[in-house]
Amino acid sequence: MILAYAGSSARNHTAEAAAPALDPNWWKGAVIYEVYPRSFGDTNGDGIGDLKGVTAHLDYLQKLGVNGIWMTPFSPSPQVDFGYDVTDYNAIDPQYGTMADFERLVAEAGKRNIRVITDLVLNHTSDQHPWFRESRSSRTNPKADWYIWVDGKPGKPPNNWLSIFGHSAWQWDATRQQYYYHAFYKEQPDLNWRNRQVRDAMYQMIRGWMRRGVAGFRLDAVPQLFEDPQRQDEKYLPGLTAYGDRQETRVHTDNLPEVHEVYRELRQVVDAVPGTVLIGETYLPNVEELAQAYGPNHDELQLPMDTQYGMGSKLSAELFRAKLRDAETRLNGNMPLFVFDNHDNRRSWNRYGDGKHDDAIARLIATLLLTPRATVLIYYGQELGMSNNDPKSVDQVKDPIGKIGWPKDIGRDGERTPMQWSASANAGFSTAKSTWLPVAPNYATVNVAAESDNPGSLLNYYRKLIRLRKENAALRDGDLRIVDETNPDVLSFVRSANGSTVLVTLNFSSSPRTVSYASAKIGIAGRGLTALAQSFDSAPPPASLDKLVLPGFGAYVGEVR
């Protein structure tokens, strides 16, 4: 779907004093697993996941090999946008548990060497947040300027700006007799980030979570933090959106230069505990803008998401080669953050799958994710081959954009269904009669219990690649060099460190391909190969660089001898 102020107040030493020590580099090359708490584990039988349900499954995550979990929001919320509409940033929504549950989750995760990253919804609050209630109560109250208020006449919004979730981005408020701006739902009014008090309130809140042992933050919708103060109209583009609005540019509302000032301030706040990481939800149109999000002096976000790499739907060796090259050469030596799946996009199984070779394609994607030099995000269930379980009719839809956009945009329910733990009722997610979203029908075979026992499962392929990322020096620390630059179907690269070299070769075609990398040609010493991982069992592993035969969509990882 979607989808340089450095004040002294940005520093705080109490956070440093109270928080546990962090390895400052823990996030470099880490595997970070996105947990959607509502759908991960339900321990109180209400059909909705909870914090104890995450704690209960930490052993599974440890065995998978993850270094961190990113938890999507669990603070009090009317749940219009399932937690991305916060009413109290410093508390836990009772449907997910208590602060003691959260503290226990952090402690138990820590015992397993898993860090906890929380979601920070900075751009907007819920319209039920006390700040907004106060702000909307008059034009003169102390928080009157905390949101984006503009005069106008009823029925005539100040300009043509559109909400990302459809229709005008302006909502008339009868009390103030003014419009407020909302980049997302009207129940999510945008905060005014030009207001110093807003910033300081947010930074104070962040320090509180650092004291609770949080090792980083995923910054929600940060390109949307600022809008053009002149409020100029956007230009119309051809065609209509899924919501039936005229298409238009978003140059006055997205990724304004001012966001970098806030990135630097946020970085100063988290640098009070070195190693606290900032992950950006940075849907950016090109690698230049992505590079800027790291900051000219590596002083902004450590890990802005590279949404260009895996968020598309076209399986093409040439395309992935170009993106890999961009990430290697155009991010100023910063660590790329690769991602294929999250709670806002159709699962990669459905986006990249062709309906015939889905399992092989899922392994190709796992290899594309886990073997380059990058920190990576895995979305719960991706490692099992979970697929979308989409609503069949509009009355089944829970996600409001699916109601607004049906049938062109069916919403995000399909990629948020319960985690599939076993073949028992509700896939082992919950003992409730029914769950908040229906469990996908394939849970009888696509589940943790079944796949754990099967050495050839996708889950065990993920486990193997994650283990290799830690144990193999070239995959862990090595640089990355693309070889076979012009092959239209096969993407190959080598990773090398301390005299050890690993070759990764990926066939993007549905039929077999043979490649030959005589060592001189790719500039590496040695021609023998020892398989470290391969996605197929139909063919014997290639023994030498002279001839590698890859089945359709085959992925091969081997050490050069």
Any idea which residues carry the catalytic annotation? 220, 281
DSSP SS3 for 453: coil
Closest separation in Å from C-beta 283 to ligand GLC:
8
Closest separation in Å from C-beta 198 to ligand GLC:
17
> Residue 222 or 548: which CB sits closer to ligand GLC?
222
Token reading at 426: 């509700």
For tokens 């898993």, what's the residue?
Answer: 114
Helix and strand element counts for the chain (H, E): 17, 20
* Contact (Cβ atoms closer than 8 angstroms) between residue 468 and residue 533: yes
Q: Is 521 exposed, middle or buried (0-12, 13-18, 19+ CB in 10 A)?
A: exposed
- Positions touching ligand GLC (CB under 6 A) are 2, 81, 84, 121, 184, 220-221, 281, 343-344
For tokens 């940075």, what's the residue?
Answer: 282
> Residue 67 or 123: which CB sits closer to ligand GLC?
123
Residues 6 or more apart whose Cβ sits within 8 Å of residue 153: none
> Residue 164 or 548: which CB sits closer to ligand GLC?
164
Residues 6 or more apart whose Cβ sits within 8 Å of residue 19: 210, 211, 213, 273
> Residue 124 or 207: which CB sits closer to ligand GLC?
124
> Residue 281 or 306: which CB sits closer to ligand GLC?
281
Identify the DSSP state of 233: P
> Residue 221 or 491: which CB sits closer to ligand GLC?
221
Q: Which helix (H) or strand (E) holds 150?
A: strand 149-150
Determine the straight-line distance between the first and last CA of the chain, rounded to whole angstroms: 45
Closest separation in Å from C-beta 402 to ligand GLC:
12
Closest separation in Å from C-beta 359 to ligand GLC:
28
What is the number of other CB atoms lying within 10 angstroms of the CB of residue 64?
18
> Residue 146 or 461: which CB sits closer to ligand GLC?
146
> Residue 73 or 157: which CB sits closer to ligand GLC?
73
Q: Which alpha helices (DSSP H) does 195-313 contain, by range?
A: 196-211, 258-270, 287-292, 307-310
What would the DSSP string read from start to end of 59-120?
HHHHHHT-SEEEEPP-SS---TTTTSS-S-TTS--TTT--HHHHHHHHHHHHHTT-EEEEEE
> Residue 143 or 343: which CB sits closer to ligand GLC?
343
Closest separation in Å from C-beta 4 to ligand GLC:
26
Closest separation in Å from C-beta 333 to ligand GLC:
28
> Residue 55 or 163: which CB sits closer to ligand GLC?
163
Token reading at 280: 């950006």
Closest separation in Å from C-beta 144 to ligand GLC:
24
* Contact (Cβ atoms closer than 8 angstroms) between residue 150 and residue 157: no
Return d(Cα 277, Cα 291) in angstroms, integer: 17
Rg (CA), the chain: 24
Closest separation in Å from C-beta 482 to ligand GLC:
32
Return d(Cα 323, Cα 302) in angstroms, integer: 19
Closest separation in Å from C-beta 197 to ligand GLC:
22
Closest separation in Å from C-beta 401 to ligand GLC:
8
Phi, psi of 486 (to 5 degrees): -110, 0
Phi, psi of 119 (to 5 degrees): -90, 135
What would the DSSP string read from start to end of 461-477?
HHHHHHHHHHH-HHHHH
Residues 6 or more apart whose Cβ sits within 8 Å of residue 483: 492, 493, 494, 503, 517, 521, 522
Angle subtended at Cα 324 by Cα 319 and Cα 330, rounded to the nearest 5 degrees: 115
Return d(Cα 171, Cα 377) in angstroms, integer: 35
> Residue 72 or 447: which CB sits closer to ligand GLC?
72
Token reading at 433: 């009669």
State the residue number with the nearest CB to ligand GLC: 84
The tally of CA atoms less than 13 A away on the side-chain side of residue 543 is: 1
What is the number of other CB atoms lying within 10 angstroms of the CB of residue 330?
13
Closest separation in Å from C-beta 123 to ligand GLC:
7
Sequence length of the chain is: 561
